[in-house]
Amino acid sequence: MQSANMLLKKFVRSSVLPFAAQHGMKKDLFPVSRTLSLSLCLKQDNSCSPSEKLDLDAWKKVMKSGLQEEVSETVSEHKELSTLAAARETLEMWRLAGRSVPENISEEQLKTFMECPSKSAKKKYLRYLYHKELYKKNDRRKMDEKRERRLETQEQDSKTDETRRNSFICLWASCMDRAYSWRVAQSMIFGQPLVFDMSYEKDMSIREVANTVRQIVLSEGCNRRSVDPFHIHFCNFKDDSLYHKEFVKHYREAWGKLLITATDQCYTEVFPKDKLIYLTADSPKVMKTFDHDKIYIIGSMVDKSIKTGVSLARAKRLGLETAALPLEKYLLWNAGAKNLTLDQMMRILLTLKDTGDWKAALEFVPKRKYCGFVSRPVHELKKSLNLINTLKLGKRQEELRKQFTKNYSKKLMQK
């Protein structure tokens, strides 16, 4: 700051005066009040004499002059910034530089940001916050637009006709809620159990746990709305766990009234061992039919880093039977991991339970992951798919190699 001050003094003495004199606007320049007014003068000035030779460094003077009084402020308050404030400053600068950085960041998020172990982790976290903010903003904008539209139509309606008479009072939503709850309550007495194994917390990052809970909330929703719901069990569920915290965040006060069974016991303690089947994509056994007498277990885990064999290991340890969905048998798989999200699993199981139809059930596998249902023998289809892929990949590899040599030679040239 010292140097900046010096510099300012110098420039006040040397550079502005001749500049002002040259343009004949001394009285406009002193006292300098605001950047805007100054630039206005400059603009006017410029428009008066368009034929004048261009002053290429004029921007520097503008940039320096605008700050005169601000500098004196900052000098006095310039002290050692706390680390948090410093991080906030850096973020602000990144935002100015046009990087994907959120506009507003809470204290808590800032702390999480500082605790990221590496630069790339920090970048990733910021990008995540940025996109979250963007989505939120868009949602809010859309909601506002919707409200406006609704208000408009309401106005028109009120003008045109009076309220219609109807024998049902408009209580559709709460009636449905009651009917659903009735069904789920029935299933809690008579229904087939379905277990979510909540023992993977230590295998996941905080964000993965949050994703897991979100997926479970979605699956609980589908289950509630289905014709014949499962009786959902959360097993190995600890009360002070991250899972619990996230659930409360999602359900708020409804968490206590949820029609599910949550227990800290293991499923092997709740149910007879020979009835349990652990569903895992790593299982060597493939599920043929849906068995209404068995109790299926789903591991509540989102693994973005593809930790293979974690849930299989758990089943092995407890000596449980395992099964995988017959994805290969019915679908011509294209890309992506064979582990599905929890809500997709739930929909598939519900459909199987109601209809026993694999084709209908596997409609819930994301379309991007497969090319279609198998009609011809699988190996034939696979051959053509492989051919397509090698053609595609082969070309790409060639391109990559070219790119590499080009960059490399460029780097050498620079030296």
Partner 1 sequence: VQPPEKPLEAEEWNRLRESFPSPEIFEEVMFNSMVRCNSPIDVAKSLLTHVAKSNGDIAYNLLVKYLVLCVQQRQTSEICDVYDIMKIRFKILESGAYNLLIRGLSNSDQWRMALTLLEEVKKIMTPSRTNYESCVKAASRHQEMNLAFELYREMLAKDLIPTLDVLQAFFDFSRGMKGAELQKELFGILLYLRENQIYPHKTFMRSIKLWFESIPGENWRGHLTNIKDSGQCPVCNHQLEDSDLTEEEYNNLRERIIRDVIHGTDTFRKTSPQEFEAFQTFVENRLPFDIVIDGLNVSHIKPRRMQCENLFDAVNCLAKENARLLVLGRKHMLINSSNWKREIMKEMQNKADFFFAENISEDDAFLLYATLRSGKHCKFVTRDFLRDHKACLSNSLTRHLFRKWQRGHQISKKMFLSVFIQQPAFRYDCVVQTTGDTWHIPYKDTFEEKYSYQVPRKWLCIQQK
As a whole number of Å, the end-to-end CA separation of the chain is 36
Cα–Cα distance, 372 to 368 (Å, whole number): 10
The residue among 176 and 393 lying less far from partner 1, judged by its C-beta, is: 393
Shortest distance (Å) from residue 396 CB to partner 1: 16
Strands 331-333 and 370-373: what pairing?
A: antiparallel
Pairwise CA distance, residues 415 & 409, whole Å: 10
Question: C-beta of 236: minimal distance to partner 1 in Å?
Answer: 15
Name which of 63 and 179 has its Cβ closer to partner 1: 63
Binding site for partner 1 (CB under 8 A): 3-4, 7-8, 35-36, 38-40, 42-43, 46-47, 50, 54-60, 62-64, 66-67, 71, 74, 78, 86, 89-90, 93-94, 96-99, 119, 203, 284, 308-310, 312-314, 316-317, 404-405, 408, 412, 415
Choice between 93 and 360, CB closer to partner 1: 93
State in angstroms the smallest separation of the CB of 311 from partner 1.
10
Nearer of residues 70 and 145 to partner 1, judged by Cβ: 70
**Partners of residue 293 on adjacent β-strands:** none
Q: Which token pair is 200?
A: 């993977």
Instruction: Put residue 61 in one of left, alpha, beta given phi > 0 → left and psi -120 to 50 → alpha.
Output: alpha
Residue 186 near residue 231, CB atoms below 8 Å? no
Distance CA 281, CA 303 (A): 12
CB of 199 to partner 1, least distance (A): 12
Closest CA to 361 of 261, 226, 235: 226
The dihedrals phi and psi of 118, each to the nearest 5 degrees, come to -140, 170
CA distances to 16, 226, 240, 277 from 116, in Å: 47, 42, 24, 39
Q: Provide, rounded to whole angstroms, the least separation between the CB of residue 407 and partner 1.
A: 12
Which of 16, 42 has the CB closer to partner 1? 42
Tell the smallest beta-carbon distance from residue 6 to partner 1 (Å): 11
Quick one: 141 or 401, whose CB is closer to partner 1? Answer: 401
Least Å distance, CB 316 to partner 1, is 5
DSSP code, position 295: E
Instruction: Indicate the SS3 state at residue 297.
Output: strand
> Residue 57 or 269: which CB sits closer to partner 1?
57
